[in-house]
Amino acid sequence: MTAPGVPVLDFHARLTPGDRAPAALLAAMDEAGIGRSVVSAGGLLSLDRLSAQINDGGRADVAAGNDRVHEQCARSAGRLLPFFFADPVRDVEAYRAAAGRFRGLEISPAVHGFRLDDPAVADLITIAAAARHPVYVVTLAHPGTRTADLAGLARRCTGVPFVWGHCGHTGLDFAGLAELAPVPNVHAEISGCLTVTAVQAVRRFGVSRVLFGTEYPLQHPRVELAKAAALGLAPSELREVMAGNAGRLLGEETT
Rounded to the nearest integer, the mean pLDDT of the chain is 96
Could you tell me which residues come within 8 angstroms of residue 237 by beta carbon, excluding any fewer than 6 positions away? 202, 207
Model pTM above 0.85: yes
- Residue of 178, 15, 153, 128 whose CA lies nearest to 82: 15
Domain spans, the chain? 9-250
Indicate the CATH number of 9-250 among 3.30.830.10, 3.40.50.2300, 3.20.20.140, 3.90.1170.50.
Answer: 3.20.20.140
3-state class of 172 per DSSP?
A: coil
Section 29-49 average pLDDT: 97
How does pLDDT run across 181-238, given as a tens digit for each residue? 999 999 999 999 999 999 999 999 999 999 999 999 999 999 999 999 999 999 999 9
Give the dihedral of Cα atoms 176, 177, 179, 182; nearest 10 deg. 160
Q: How many CA atoms does the CB half-sphere of 210 hold within 13 Å? A: 26
Query: What pLDDT score does 5 carry?
Result: 74
